[in-house]
């Protein structure tokens, strides 16, 4: 720390405890941690005290030796570093705090008589600080030592970021701030779902980007989303915090404005109100995923359609395009800065100024109407289904009755949830506060419990490691192995000088280099490598040292081995690379290093599986996101044509499937037979997965290589529940299924499948439909000699 007064201010204002490296001359009551003896006396001011250098070196060595003597060796790998406990934003805050106090400005900062006038930049308007309206300027009171911060006022700018889930809100915030999105410290007890992420835009302006959930959030209802946003907006207004702008993001890849996208926009308008439209930025994202002409046409439609963006644009909302660069995002921030004003949202005015309960606000009324419409729709479906159930009961079709009962119960649950949502909407915001505080308290308890479990696991693991080391010691065959394992570099050196084989192998084929690496003895490992140890030596199972260090997640040794030229694509007997080993054993830090150092993310393994296939099949979301962030091919196919999405669906892992779809996985990709994922789950009768795929846009009329549709796959395998679902969702029962123009009915008739024929006719299949050669179903049955089906078709035709 270059200045004692600045050190005192950091301690008083930011609660930062400083480390003093040059401790000579200070008393023991000095208010900082003093690292005595570890210092550099070679600069000009110490030129006359050269005799101190030896003392400094000896003292440093003595303290280091004493410190290391107190640290158990088995605890080295589990130590907590300063980086683990210091809030990530603290260094940036400290730099912003100190910067104005350095050099020539220090005299101004310590002057008691300094006035409140803002210091103007020397280069004109380019870096002129934004003038935030009164009430949003942080003024630090004079410190006890006579400091005042009046020359370094930090102005706080609040910008809400809204839009549908997956529109790029987190990307915008992360690129602007350089941070992962996290919960802000202000209003923490009641805004666990609204995140305040701040960053210094320049030396004078701190920008707060307020991340909000969309009204299509899968983890919470629309009512809860509205309540969470309302709590933050009302509490911030009561603290005299006002928004300077609102950014609304829209995916340009969306083909049309409908469903959840349109509902989000509608709720956004109700939240803002017309008076706030001039402070709104309407931004389109994901331009790299569409061609320019298509994107421009969609953007024009948004602007020219009044019920979309047109009216807002007329009222002053600005349109921006985002190209996934920090510069394009900062352009929006600069524009909002240039507005020089704050805005009051309609929802804030209604709740705080007019005293309206949330259910009577414009947004609340809109949401209530949506709930009522949804409930009425479910009630109509329930009534129709009840009638159908009564009819089927008369036919004694137990299988169909069970299917209808399941659907009936599901509709009743939907109606019950609608009632619950309406009741929630009437909750007082005070009750919402209390609920959020209870949720946060429960979350803290869970975190503490998880931390305790982690510590207990670490202790158990440490004991197991000790036992394992003792067990392995029984099988080490040479003195070189033992010396390397114990980290005795001097003994290793002597043994090698006496002619010990540096690549001698133990019972399992491991060399001394394996022992040094497992023990974390970097100095011994370097010594062995410098003496010619084979870095690519393999144990009996085909593992190299890099494989084993990747397996154990030993980041330090992985870095060391790569630095010394270890083959990053070496393969075990089973064909696994170090990257594959790290991913299979859930070592994300190691995997990240290997990827950064050029590991092949697309290296195919057994049966053509890539690492992304394995991670997706295993449900490892962290690894999947890591691989995708390093450009793993999301549409890579195994030898039989399975994609990562297809494997996730095979495992019925909808969370993984949603993640892959969020990364734009192709839901209609085809395997080697031309079948889509929907074909496959339909043929297996997996009703839940069929529903999931249809809900996420799967093509219900997709055709395989032979022209068959998912409905055909379901019927041919007699999965009638799935077939019923597909019909309800719009599947064409008379779709042509092959090059000859045959329908499912034709195919079933020609194969003598009487029960399938009955099912199709019961569900409206056209008995007179003709294939391209002019044959009806009966004609096909006759040509194939399926007499039972011929009689059946004749009787069914007569009954029409």
- Residue 316 CB neighbours (<10 A): 13
Give the start-to-end residue ranges of the domains of the chain: 4-111, 150-356, 364-427
Report pLDDT digits (tens) over 151-202: 457 889 999 999 888 888 888 888 888 766 543 334 333 334 788 888 888 8
> Taking the C-alpha atoms of 582, 584, 587 and 590 in order, what is their torsion angle to the nearest 10 degrees?
20
Q: Tell me the average pLDDT across 583-604.
A: 88
CA–CA dist 370, 379 (Å, integer): 14
pLDDT the model gives residue 220: 66
372-381, 701-710, 726-735, range with the lowest pLDDT = 372-381
Q: Are 415 and 382 in contact (CB under 8 A)?
A: yes
Question: DSSP string of 550-617?
Answer: HHHT-HHHHHHHHHTT--TT---TT---HHHHHHHTT-HHHHHHHHHTT--TT---GGG--HHHHHHH
Whole-number CA gyration radius for the chain: 34
- The more confident residue out of 362 and 147 is 362
Q: 150-356, what's its fold?
A: Rossmann fold (3.40.50)
Q: For 116, how many CA atoms within 13 A lie in the half-sphere containing its CB?
A: 7
pLDDT digits (tens, 9 = 90+) for 289-298: 999 999 999 9
Q: Is 713 helix (H, G, I), strand (E, B) or coil?
A: helix
464-509, pLDDT tens digit by residue?
A: 566 546 645 666 667 888 889 889 899 899 989 888 899 988 888 8
What tens digit of pLDDT does each residue of 711-742 get?
A: 999 998 999 999 999 999 999 999 998 888 89
In the structure, what pLDDT confidence band is assigned to residue 70 with cuts at 50, 70 and 90? low
DSSP element (H, E) containing 247: strand 243-251
Residue scoring higher pLDDT (516 or 166): 516
Would you say 226 and 363 are in contact if contact means Cβ atoms under 8 Å apart?
yes
- What are the Cα distances from residue 305, in Å, to 282, 375, 611? 14, 29, 45
Contacts of residue 669, Cβ cutoff 8 Å, sequence gap at least 6:
635, 637, 643, 645, 646, 676, 677
Between 750 and 434, the more confident residue is 750
- Report the SS3 class of residue 4: helix
Q: What percent of the chain has pLDDT over 70?
A: 68
User: Which stretch of 28-32, 386-390, 407-411 has the lowest confidence by average pLDDT?
Assistant: 28-32
- What is the reported pLDDT for 454? 80
**Mean pLDDT over the full length of the chain:** 77
pLDDT-wise least confident of 401-405, 637-641, 662-666: 401-405
Q: Which residues have a Cβ under 8 Å from the Cβ of 632 and sit 6 or more positions away?
A: 601, 602, 610, 611, 612
Distance CA 495, CA 482 (A): 11
pLDDT tens figures, 412-458: 776 676 666 656 666 665 666 666 677 767 877 887 888 888 888 88
**Which residue carries 């019950």 as its tokens?**
416
């Amino acid at each position: 720390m270059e200045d004692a007064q600045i050190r005192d201010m950091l301690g008083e204002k930011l609660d930062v405890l400083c480390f003093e490296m040059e401790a000579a001359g200070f008393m023991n009551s000095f208010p900082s941690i003093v690292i005595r003896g570890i210092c550099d006396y070679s600069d000009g001011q110490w030129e006359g005290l050269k005799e101190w250098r030896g003392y400094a070196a000896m003292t440093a060595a003595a303290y280091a030796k004493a410190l290391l003597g107190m640290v158990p060796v088995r605890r080295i790998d589990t130590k907590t570093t300063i980086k683990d406990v210091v809030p990530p934003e603290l260094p940036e805050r400290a730099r912003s705090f100190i910067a104005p106090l350095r050099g020539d400005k220090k005299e101004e900062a310590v002057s008691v008589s300094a006035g409140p006038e803002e210091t103007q930049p020397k280069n004109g308007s380019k870096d002129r600080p934004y003038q935030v309206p009164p009430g949003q300027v942080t003024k630090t009171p004079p410190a006890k030592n006579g400091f005042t911060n009046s020359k370094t006022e930090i102005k706080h700018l609040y910008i809400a970021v809204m839009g549908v889930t997956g529109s790029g809100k987190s990307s915008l915030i992360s690129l602007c701030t350089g941070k992962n999105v996290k919960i802000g410290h202000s209003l923490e007890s009641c805004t666990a779902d609204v995140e305040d992420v701040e960053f210094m835009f320049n030396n004078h302006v701190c920008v707060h980007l307020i991340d909000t959930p969309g009204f299509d959030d899968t983890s919470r209802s629309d009512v809860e989303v509205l309540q969470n946003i309302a709590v933050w907006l009302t509490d911030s207004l009561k603290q005299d915090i006002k928004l300077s702008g609102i950014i609304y993001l829209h995916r340009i890849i969306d083909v049309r404005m409908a469903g959840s996208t349109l509902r989000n926009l509608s709720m956004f308008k109700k939240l803002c109100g017309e008076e706030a439209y001039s402070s709104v930025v309407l931004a389109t994202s994901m331009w790299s995923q569409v061609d320019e002409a298509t994107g421009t046409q969609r953007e024009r439609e948004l602007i020219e359609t009044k019920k979309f963006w047109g009216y807002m644009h007329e009222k002053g909302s600005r349109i921006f395009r985002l190209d996934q660069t920090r510069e394009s995002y900062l352009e929006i921030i600069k524009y909002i800065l240039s507005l020089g004003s704050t805005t009051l949202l309609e929802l804030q005015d209604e709740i705080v100024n007019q005293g309206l309960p949330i259910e009577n606000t414009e947004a609340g009324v809109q949401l209530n109407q949506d709930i009522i419409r949804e409930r009425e729709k479910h009630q109509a479906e329930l009534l129709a289904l009840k009638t159908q159930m009564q009819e089927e009961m008369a036919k004694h079709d137990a299988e169909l009755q069970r299917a209808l009962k399941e659907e009936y119960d599901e509709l009743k649950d939907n109606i019950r949830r609608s009632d619950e949502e309406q009741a929630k909407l009437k909750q007082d915001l005070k009750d919402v506060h209390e609920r959020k505080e209870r949720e946060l308290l429960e979350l803290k308890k869970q975190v503490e419990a998880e931390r305790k479990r982690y510590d207990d696991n670490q202790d158990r693991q440490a004991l197991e490691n000790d036992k394992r080391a003792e067990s392995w010691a029984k099988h080490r065959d040479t003195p070189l192995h033992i010396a390397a394992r114990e980290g005795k570099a001097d003994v290793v050196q002597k043994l090698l000088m006496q002619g010990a084989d540096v690549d001698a192998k133990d019972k399992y084929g491991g060399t001394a280099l394996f022992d040094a690496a497992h023990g974390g003895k970097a100095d011994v490992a370097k010594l062995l490598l410098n003496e010619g140890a084979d870095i690519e030596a393999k144990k009996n199972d085909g593992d190299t040292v890099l494989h084993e260090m990747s397996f154990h997640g030993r980041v330090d040794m992985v870095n060391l081995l790569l630095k010394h030229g270890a083959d990053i694509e070496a393969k075990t007997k089973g064909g696994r690379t170090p990257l594959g080993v790290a991913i299979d054993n859930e070592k994300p830090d190691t995997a990240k290093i290997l990827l950064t150092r050029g590991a092949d993310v697309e290296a195919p393994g057994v049966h053509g599986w890539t690492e992304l296939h394995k991670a997706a099949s295993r449900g490892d979301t962290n690894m999947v996101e890591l691989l995708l962030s390093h450009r793993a091919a999301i549409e890579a196919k195994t030898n039989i044509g399975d994609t990562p999405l297809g494997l996730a669906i095979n495992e019925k892992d909808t969370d993984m499937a949603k993640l892959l779809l969020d990364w734009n996985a192709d839901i209609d990709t085809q395997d080697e037979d031309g079948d889509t994922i929907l074909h496959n789950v339909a043929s297996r009768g997996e009703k839940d997965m069929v529903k999931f795929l249809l809900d996420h846009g799967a093509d219900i009329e997709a055709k395989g290589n032979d022209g068959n549709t998912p409905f055909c796959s379901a019927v041919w395998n007699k999965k009638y529940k799935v077939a019923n679902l597909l019909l309800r969702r719009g599947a064409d029962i008379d779709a042509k299924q092959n090059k000859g123009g045959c329908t499912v009915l034709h195919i079933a008739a020609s194969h003598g499948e009487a029960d399938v024929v009955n099912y199709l006719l019961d569900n409206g299949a056209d008995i007179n439909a003709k294939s391209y050669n002019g044959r009806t179903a009966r004609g096909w049955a006759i040509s194939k000699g399926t007499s039972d089906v011929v009689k059946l078709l004749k009787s069914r035709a007569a009954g029409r």
